[in-house]
Each structure stands twice: as C-alpha cells, then as structure tokens.
Amino acid sequence: MPGFEVFGDREKQEISEVLETGVLFRYEFGEQRQGIYKVRTFEENFARYVGAGYAQAVTSGTAALKVALKVLGVGPGDEVVTQGFTFVGTWEAILDIGAIPVFTEVDTTLNMDPADLEKKLTDRTKAIIPVHMLGSGARIDEIMAIADRCAIPVIEDVSQAAGGKWRGSYLGTFGRCGAFSFGAVKTITTGEGGMVITDDEKTWRTMAEYHDHGHDHVPNPGGRAGEGRSFIGFNYRMMELQGAIGIAQLSRLDDILLAQRKNKELLRQSVSRLPGVTFRTLVDEAGDSATFLAFFLPNRERAREVNRLLQDNGAGAISFAENKWHYYPNWEHLANGATTCSSGWPFRDRQGRQKVVYDPENLSRSAAIMNRLLAYQVPVKLSRERLAQIDAAIEKVAATLG
C-alpha cells in the first residue's frame, strides 16, 4: 500500500510552492502566503474525492482516531469496541483518552465479526471502531445496522484502505467519522499525517477547534476568529508541507489503485497454485483497494511449512499471527497493563486494583483464522523479476508439498 513508491515531480512542485512563500503553517500569515493554503486544499480535495461533507487534516492516523473519539464525547470510564486484528494505533487512541478498548473476533474477512460485536456491547459502549484491514472493507452494512439500532456512533479506521469502497461508496463515509493515516507505508503518504472525514458539520467544527487549541476557524477560513473558546483543545495541526504532498499523492490515488489491482491479480494467480490454498473473504471485490493479498492454508502447521519454503526461495510472506504490531495475543504491553502513568491509569483504579485484564487467549476464533493466514503486500510497482521469483518459489512449494 505504498504511496512512497510513487513520490516524484508532482510532490516536489507542490512543496516548492510552499517553500517560495516560506509560510509553513496552515493558519494565518494572510499576506505573505499569496493565497496558498495547502492543508485546506488537501482537505477540500479529499472530502470531494471520498464524497464526504467535511475533512479535517491532523498529524497522524492515531491522532485522527483520537480527535474523532474526543469530539464524539468519549472519555474515562467508557468502552470502545474494536477488533483484535488491527494496528496498535487503533487502541492506543482509545486508551489515550482514558477509555477502555474491548476487542472482537475477526472472521474470514479479517475484519470485525458482527455477531461478536453484538456480544461485546454493554451500557458503557460509547463508540465502535471497525477497521478495514489490509485494504479491504469490513461487513460495514451489518456493523452499521447494529450500531444504529443501539445508537452508538461508529468511527471507521480506514488507515489501510484509502480509496476502498463498499457498494460504490468510499470506506470511511458510512460511520459518523472515517479516520485515515498518511504514514510511511500507507496507500498515500504525507510523511506523517491523518484525516478525519464526516458529513456532520457540527462534528467537523468541533474537530477543527479541538485540533487547534480551541481556536474557531469557521468565520475566518484559513485564519482564526474570535478568542472565545468553547472547550479545552490540543494541537494536532498538519503543516503546509504535508498538505502540499497530500495534494499530489491524492491526485495519484486512482492510478495507485489501478496498479495494485493489476498486481494483486498477478500475485493471486501465482498463489492459487499452492495446494489447499483459499483466499480471504472480500465483502465487495470491486471495492477492494488491493493493498494486500491474504490467503489461508488448511492449518497452522501447513501455513508455517509453506512460509518456510517460500522464505527459503526468496519469497517469504507476512505471517500476521506472529506479527507483534497487529495481533491481539502478541500485544504483551496491553496484556501487562503497562502504562507510563505511575498510578497505572487507565488499567488500574485509584486503589491500584487491576480494572481490566486482557487475556491473550480470549479471541480463540480469531486465532483459528489468523494461524492459517499468510499475506503479501501488493506493490504499486511489481517488477517482472520479482514476480518471476515469487512464481518460481510457489512452483517449488507446490512441487515439494504435492
């Protein structure tokens, strides 16, 4: 999912316009900036691209999730339900506002299992964060139906699936908010950065204020308005250089998706020669952003054996069951309730008693799926040599395992 592969002249041109004025900051400096508002333009372009009413740029994907949680009013004592297969940033944002993450199982979509979501809701649940992992959509219709019935807001984590769709609408536009990341290995990148989209004007205004210390920008776009503050904010402002890169990267997104879809199909044809292989369930194949090819072997032992052989032949796949950053049983700092807070907050109460325990064995149905899973990241640029190497490795594995 790498926008970094296509960084080039368009990005340099956009950056140079910012360097010409010397205005690195998104707000104020009206005269000196010569009408150039890169972050604002990136927001407008992004909202238009995905078909959302509003977009708020921030400093990272994790910040995007945190800003969304904040403006939805989530805080200490609340629970937020997400899934046990995601990047740590999803639940870091939840813990950082003092709320408690609750994890659901994933199914063969590798995303939130709606039946398990239903079981994990309590009267303390204040938000649901389904994650569109590895480029492909969650069962967002079923998740939205459950959330709407219980009147719980949904924040979609679209960090790994920019440009992905479900039945013709962009991922991120189904929930109250959609949170995107533009970090190093995302589909489009601004170095560091993130975006929150929403259709609700009030939600957007609150985000704009919160992410800039409580400043109001609405009466004076590009600048700041009166100094009356509605609430305590923070600083998650994106800078103009990032906005400039974002404009260029977004203009490439359709081409990136096209290339990924083509390359994913080539990899899929190759991988389909593995004996006993099956592929991840896609809820909307046409809407797949095609950043990963995920496939299953019949059992854990087979998956390990296959990957060992692939590695020996220069074509090792990613085993997310062993990945330290994306899978619940491997988050030892979460299981240990390890926090920088000397009081142990938010895992412990004031008396030091453990309030919440994350048992690594909790998500057994996810484990049965994750242990059989292997995946290739789909590059934008897949060289003939690399494809031939993967083809050859898979032929060898198929021959060895018969």
Catalytic residues: 186
267 sits in which H/E element: helix 240-271
Does position 157 bind ligand PLP by CB under 6 A?
yes
Least distance to ligand PLP, CB of residue 283, Å: 17
Q: Which of 56, 60, 173, 260 contacts ligand PLP by CB under 6 A?
A: 60
Does position 3 bind ligand PLP by CB under 6 A?
no
Does position 89 bind ligand PLP by CB under 6 A?
yes
Does position 134 bind ligand PLP by CB under 6 A?
no
CB closer to ligand PLP out of 178 and 287: 178
Strands 194-198 and 54-58: antiparallel
Does position 111 bind ligand PLP by CB under 6 A?
no
Q: With CA atoms as reference, report the closest residue to 25 among 191, 223, 225.
A: 223
Which amino acid belongs to residue 284?
A: D
Least distance to ligand PLP, CB of residue 89, Å: 3
Does position 173 bind ligand PLP by CB under 6 A?
no
Q: For the beta carbon of residue 192, count every other beta carbon within 10 angstroms.
A: 18
Q: With CA atoms as reference, report the closest residue to 111 among 143, 79, 89.
A: 143
Q: Which of 2, 135, 194, 379 contacts ligand PLP by CB under 6 A?
A: 194
DSSP string, 85-152: BS-HHHHHHHHHTT-EEEEE-B-TTSSB-HHHHHHH--TTEEEE--B-GGG----HHHHHHHHHHHT-
Does position 101 bind ligand PLP by CB under 6 A?
no
Q: Which of 56, 82, 83, 90 contacts ligand PLP by CB under 6 A?
A: 90
Structural contact between residues 132 and 155, judged by C-beta atoms closer than 8 angstroms = no
Q: Which of 136, 181, 203, 249 contacts ligand PLP by CB under 6 A?
A: 181
CB closer to ligand PLP out of 111 and 270: 111
User: Residue with CB nearest ligand PLP?
Assistant: 61
Q: For the beta carbon of residue 241, count every other beta carbon within 10 angstroms.
A: 18
Site residues for ligand PLP, window 311-350 (CB under 6 A)? none
How many residues lie near ligand PLP (CB under 6 A)?
14
- Token pair 């939130």: residue: 112
Q: Round to whole Å and give the CA distance between 289 and 183.
A: 17
Least distance to ligand PLP, CB of residue 67, Å: 12
Footprint on this chain of ligand PLP (rule: CB under 6 A) = 60-62, 86-87, 89-90, 131, 157, 159-160, 181, 183, 194
